[in-house]
Amino acid sequence: MPVDTAATDRSVCAPLPVLGCEVAVPLASGGEAVYAALDYAASAPALQRVWDDVAAYAPYYGSVHRGAGYLSQLSTDLFENSRATVADFLGCRPDDQVVFTRSTTDSLNLLAAALPEGARVFVFETEHHAALLPWERRADLAVTYLDAPRTPRQAVDTLEKALADREPYRAALVCVTGASNVTGELWPVRELAAAAHAHGARIVLDAAQLAPHRPVDLAGLDVDWVAFSGHKLYAPFGAGVLAGRADWLRDAAPYLAGGGASRTVARRADGGLDVEWHTSAARHEAGSPNVIGAYAIASACRALTEAGFDALAAREQELITAVREGLADVPEVRFLSLFGDDAPRVGVLSFVVEGRNSADFAAALSAEYGIGVRDGLFCAHPLVRTLLGSDPRHPGECGAPAAAPGATSGAAPEERSLAAIRVSFGVGTPDEHIARFVRAVKELV
């Protein structure tokens, strides 16, 4: 039976404190439990340090790049210092630009808008929709979707073959994830970057799931751009980052037209306007910037760096092992994987429970145990359908059919579950939350 943990679970979140680690939620059976937030891959809770830093700055908030007053100057310095902090966190090269955006999705749409005319994009079907879809918005771009690889080596070989067959006169971009938002598996980024550059292509790394768990060294990985979101990096204040080579960004039309992106504006004799646009990151940051979002990201970058990724990754591996070994004796539970159970991964695990509807199962975890997970296709529909043995071209929406959810792979397609359950965690996850999750899954099964 579910246990009321409200009196016993109010422990300090480790290894880094996060907001919400003592929030109690009601249970369907009566009473309440301290909420076990195990949906970090969607949005991670704010680090306590990030919240404290933002709160300390808030009274001094002012316009950025706009005013001569003290608060405006302070806010401008804070904003630009945050840019420098992010550049250090990402291992940017001296000539790279750091552009603040709204999210990973916004960053990749910005890059898509900046691609040279007629460029070809190569992207695996395994990508999150944020990396899968932006290229379709430009009719002049040619997009090649690559089949899901089953080993890291196959990923590199598939990319090399596709690049070798491309038109050599076209600019080319490869888009790849660093860590899957479905399986948590780490991708061979350095090897994919080497393959891209060997064939005259550039590469952008979607680090939305990688940056909160592992160091991202843009120069060390030899990628041309990296994109990530603050809300997955324990800084949920509506900001993101696109960092990397300046030339395509400098040569492209501003992502948004407006103040801040323009250096000078003058009327022409014919009644039109002559506009000189900035060539720095400001070119794509029109409007009043989200200084709090940028500062929050910088605060999170400092906190993670000081905590040490080696120590954070080692503890996270212990949690991954606890989940996998804890459920190893439950035959109804099947974890999803591209590269195999032993593949290196971050704290993101997806699974199905044979014979159970994924949406109902996730709802039961919440209502009966106070555990928050995600169910569905995780904005990576082709990948999840491939992992579930369904056709990746299936047009259905998220959600499992009610007729025979969780049916075995030998069942007819219409009877097979088209959704999964995802559990994800990070630096603010206590051991107890993982233990409660394992116990809850066993009891529900």
Cis peptide before 94 (omega within 30 of 0): no
CA distance 62 to 416: 55
CA distance 78 to 58: 12
How big is the chain by its Cα radius of gyration, in Å? Answer: 23
CA distances from residue 85 to 81, 142, 158, 435 in whole angstroms, order as listed: 6, 36, 36, 36
CA distance 261 to 282: 5
Is the torsion defined by CA of 369, 375, 379, 382 positive or negative?
A: positive
Q: Say if CB 435 and CB 26 are below 8 A apart.
A: no
CA distance 248 to 77: 27
Verify whether residue 379 is a known catalytic residue: yes
CA distance 37 to 286: 35
CA distance 208 to 188: 16
CA distances from residue 140 to 61, 247, 284 in whole angstroms, order as listed: 42, 20, 21
Residue of 21, 92, 301, 379 marked catalytic: 379
CA distance 254 to 260: 11
Helix ranges restricted to H, 327-430: 358-369, 381-387
Q: Which residues form the catalytic set?
A: 379
